[in-house]
Amino acid sequence: MILNKITLVCISLGTLSLFSCIGSHVPKEIHLYDSATVVRSTDYKILGKGTGQDSAFYLLGMFPVTKAPNVELAMSQILEKFPTGKTLINIKIQREDKAYFPLGLVTVVNVTADVVGQQEELNQTPQKENK
């Protein structure tokens, strides 16, 4: 009888500790960067601010169902919105974990950045066609 009670208590404590790890909220991580690539000149134009995101799902918070979130994919989503954009500056990368108890955990990577490109030349000469 005492052995059954001890076994029940051990199983209950193990289950509670497992669920407390799965259901816990992981705080956000924020990283700031000046630029995605080296910007050697100051004659660029900020075309706009963009956002991109990627996510992953972990079953029971431990087993990956999808690929890990990719920061480069989120950054490329920003550049796709601005076809003349060359690089990103003032980059903010934010990672957030959202628990969906008891199913799993979704990890989301949000990237916010300014898209820059070259300033348009004012004195463009028209090109002549040779026939």
Domain harbouring 82, CATH code: 3.30.110
- Measured distance CA(68)–CA(109) in Å, rounded: 10
Query: What's this model's pTM, rounded to 2 decimal places?
Result: 0.65
pLDDT digits (tens, 9 = 90+) for 39-73: 777 778 888 899 999 999 988 877 889 898 899 99
Give the residue with greater pLDDT, 60 vs 26.
Answer: 60
Residue 20 in any domain: the answer is no
The pLDDT assigned to 54 comes to: 92
Residue 11 in any domain: the answer is no
Residue range of the domain that includes 95: 28-117
Average pLDDT taken over every residue of the chain = 77
Residue 131 in any domain: the answer is no
- Measured distance CA(2)–CA(67) in Å, rounded: 47
Residue 18 in any domain: the answer is no
- Tell me: cis bond preceding 83? Omega within 30 of 0 counts: no
Per-residue pLDDT band at 122 (split at 50, 70, 90): very low
Residue 1 in any domain: the answer is no
- Measured distance CA(78)–CA(130) in Å, rounded: 39
pLDDT at 34 over 70: yes
Residue 57 in any domain: the answer is yes
Question: Is residue 47 within 8 Å of 115, Cβ to Cβ?
Answer: yes
Among 78, 73, 36, CA closest to 56:
73
Q: Please report, as a single letter, which amino acid is at residue 49.
A: K
Question: In the structure encoding, which two tokens stand for residue 52, read together?
Answer: 């991109």
How many structural domains compose the chain? 1
Residue 4 in any domain: the answer is no
Residue 129 in any domain: the answer is no
Give the residue with greater pLDDT, 68 vs 129.
Answer: 68
Strand partners, 100: 104
Range with top average pLDDT, 12-21, 39-48, 90-99? 90-99
